[in-house]
Structures are given as structure tokens and as C-alpha cells.
């Protein structure tokens, strides 16, 4: 690879997933030169959407960041932005019942690999995004203390992506760090994008020519289909249904009230998770159609562009994992634009 000039706003993306973070960085004016993720389906999807990026399919623990810096031809201090979102399953409040504590703890430690890369590159700026619960974990305290010890000014906040152009409620922890003073967070928008704004103009399922939109799974059980049809349109909940029409497992049970609920056209969507195409996992029914949202609708509610490729090689639910675990590109773009502006101001003063 040719040596990358220091003036070209180079960024690298750790734990890149299917590329939501990279897309937001590119939209903010950064050139993403290198990325890494160990999941083959994520990397397959990433490469189709970002063919110009050198992406490694490997466990980050097997990499020496000094070797990555040499591969990119960057001197210490030349990288503009180190960014990423370590796996957050171990910190999320939405843990799966079959999650292994041993695996969770090992994944939690991946947060600390930011320190290894920060020491090797000494980038001008750092952005880390994760679930809010990370802020209460000892690893986050170690991360912040380590960055501070290296001369970085760190700031972190828990923000709602709905206030930054993303048509869904999604509370996320975001950390910004720089050696040249505090980086301001993006200014929240006054108006929120709604479900209607994001998916209201899509063609009918089965008639779009888009595999992510046309792939639909009809509930096998007639009683589930009847339940879905009975839920009131535009934000309706199963609680509005006569108890005799409820599924047997829901009768007399008040927990998880959002399951089999409909989204509302003129509100933001709930948090898009890996269960986003399964109405038994949350409020994931279409506002008026008698079905769960499609994969394309889920991706649009995450603020991906309509043409963004998501691999279906492992089926619908694996694709939903990619979408639900992604960073919303628009949320990234707005904060990365603030980082870009900060770096330009500091260059001007230099």
C-alpha cells in the first residue's frame, strides 16, 4: 500500500461489523483506510459496501497494532481518527438467555484493545460508541484513565440517536477524545425523523425487486396471524385485544408489553435490535400491514441508505443480526463531522 499522507483525514474502524460506523465516517469526510472484524458475514457485507477499505477478517487480539501502522505507512501521530464499537453483548441489558458468562467476559475485555491501538498510533482523535451500561464497568474506567495518561482530553455522554437524525429511540454511550482540547458533541436536531419518513414510501413487499424487502416470513400458526391482524393500527399494542384473543402464553402476563406491538407512523421506531424482524421480540410490527417490518425497513430505520447491501447468505435472521448490531450511520456522521471540524480548527491554529 502506498504511504498515506497525514493531511488526508485517515480513519480506521475497529470491530467494523457490516459497516455502519465506516459509512458515517465517510459521510463526515474521513477516508477509512483499514478495518477489522472476526465475523465472516460482517466482513462479506462490509467489503461489498466499502471495497476501497483494507478490511481484515480476524480476531483483533491476534493483531499487533504496530504492524497495522506499518502496513498503512503511517508514522506515530499521523492517524486522524481511531474509531470503533467493541462487542456490547456483555454490557447490554438485552442479554440472551443462552449467553455464556465465560464468552461474555472475554468479549467485554475487547474494550481494552482500544488502548493498544491508541498507544501504537497516537491518533489525533478517538471515537468509541457502545451501550450506556459500559460507562459503569471497570474496563471503561481503565480506558478513560489510560487515554488521559497519554494526554487525551476525553468526554463521554449517553445520547439518544433519535435526536441526531435517526428514526428510532436508541440510547448510546459515545466517547470523544483528542490531544488538542475537548471535541464538542454534535448539536441535537429540533425535529425528529419518523417511521413514516424512513419507510413510508417503500413499495409493497414482494414487488420491490429488493431481496431485503421482498423476503417475508409468514407466521406458521393461524392463531399468531389472527393476533397480528387484531392489533390496532399505527402504534397499537396487544394489550388492546380482548384477553380471549391473546396467545395463551400472554394471558395474565404484563411483562414485555411491547412484544407484538405496532410501530407508529409519526413517531420514531423503538430500538432496532437483532430481533427486529420477529414481532415476538418487541414492537416490530409494521404500522398498518399485518406483518413484521422487513430487513430493508429495519436497515432504513437504522439510517442506512436504501441501496446498502446486507448479505443473506446465512438467512434472514443472520442478516437481522447484522442490521440490529450496526451503528446508525447518521448518528456517527453527525458526531464525526464535529470531530472533523475540531481537527480543521486545530490545524488552522497550528
List the catalytic residues: 88
Count how many residues are written for the chain.
350
Q: Quick check: 297 and 214 in contact, CB under 8 A? A: no
Helix, strand, or coil (residue 228): helix
Query: Alpha-carbon distance 228 to 85, whole Å?
Result: 35
Beta strands in 240-284 (DSSP E): none
* Contact call for residues 300 and 199 (beta carbons, < 8 A): yes
260: left (phi over 0), alpha (psi -120 to 50) or beta: left
- Distinct helix (H) and strand (E) counts, the chain: 12, 7
Residue 255 to residues 207, 238, 259, 264: CA-CA distances in angstroms? 37, 12, 9, 21
Q: Phi/psi of residue 144, each to 5°? A: -65, -45
Residue 216: strand, helix, or coil: coil
Identify whether the C-beta of residue 151 lies closer than 8 Å to the C-beta of residue 125.
no
- Nearest Cα neighbor of 19 from 53, 60, 58 is 53
Q: Are 291 and 228 in contact (CB under 8 A)?
A: yes
Q: How many CA atoms lie within 13 A of 204 on its CB side?
A: 4
Amino acid at each position: 500500500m502506498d504511504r498515506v499522507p497525514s493531511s488526508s483525514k485517515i480513519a480506521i474502524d475497529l470491530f467494523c461489523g457490516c459497516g455502519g460506523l465506516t459509512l458515517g465516517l465517510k459521510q463526515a469526510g474521513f477516508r477509512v483506510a483499514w478495518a477489522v472484524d472476526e465475523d465472516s458475514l460482517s466482513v462479506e457485507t462490509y467489503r461489498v459496501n466499502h471495497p476501497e477499505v483494507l478490511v481484515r477478517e480476524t480476531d483483533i487480539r491476534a493483531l499487533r497494532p504496530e504492524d497495522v501502522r506499518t502496513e498503512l505507512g503511517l508514522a506515530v501521530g499521523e492517524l486522524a481518527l481511531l474509531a470503533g464499537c467493541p462487542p456490547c453483548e456483555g454490557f447490554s441489558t438485552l442479554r440472551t438467555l443462552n449467553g455464556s458468562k465465560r464468552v461474555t467476559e472475554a468479549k467485554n475485555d475487547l474494550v481494552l484493545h482500544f488502548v493498544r491501538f491508541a498507544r501504537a498510533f497516537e491518533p489525533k482523535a478517538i471515537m468509541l460508541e457502545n451501550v450506556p451500561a459500559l460507562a459503569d464497568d471497570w474496563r471503561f474506567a481503565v480506558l478513560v484513565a489510560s487515554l488521559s495518561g497519554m494526554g487525551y482530553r476525553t468526554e463521554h455522554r449517553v445520547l439518544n440517536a433519535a435526536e441526531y437524525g435517526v428514526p428510532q429511540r436508541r440510547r448510546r454511550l459515545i466517547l470523544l477524545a483528542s490531544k488538542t482540547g475537548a471535541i464538542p458533541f454534535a448539536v441535537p436536531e429540533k425535529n425528529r425523523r419518523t417511521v413514516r419518513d424512513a419507510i413510508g414510501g417503500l413499495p409493497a413487499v414482494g414487488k420491490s425487486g429488493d431481496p431485503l424487502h421482498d423476503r417475508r416470513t409468514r407466521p406458521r400458526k393461524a392463531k399468531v396471524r389472527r393476533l397480528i391482524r387484531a392489533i390496532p393500527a399505527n402504534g397499537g399494542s396487544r394489550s388492546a385485544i380482548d384477553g380471549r384473543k391473546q396467545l395463551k402464553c400472554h394471558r395474565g402476563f404484563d411483562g414485555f408489553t411491547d412484544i407484538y406491538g405496532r410501530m407508529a407512523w409519526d413517531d420514531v421506531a423503538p430500538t432496532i435490535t437483532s430481533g427486529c424482524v420477529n414481532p415476538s421480540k418487541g414492537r416490530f410490527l409494521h404500522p398498518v400491514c399485518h406483518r413484521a417490518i422487513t430487513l430493508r425497513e429495519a436497515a432504513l430505520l437504522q439510517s442506512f441508505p436504501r441501496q446498502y447491501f446486507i448479505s443473506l447468505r446465512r438467512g434472514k435472521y443472520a442478516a437481522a443480526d447484522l442490521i440490529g448490531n450496526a451503528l446508525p450511520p447518521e448518528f456517527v456522521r453527525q458526531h464525526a463531522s464535529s470531530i472533523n471540524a475540531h481537527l480543521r480548527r486545530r490545524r488552522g491554529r497550528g
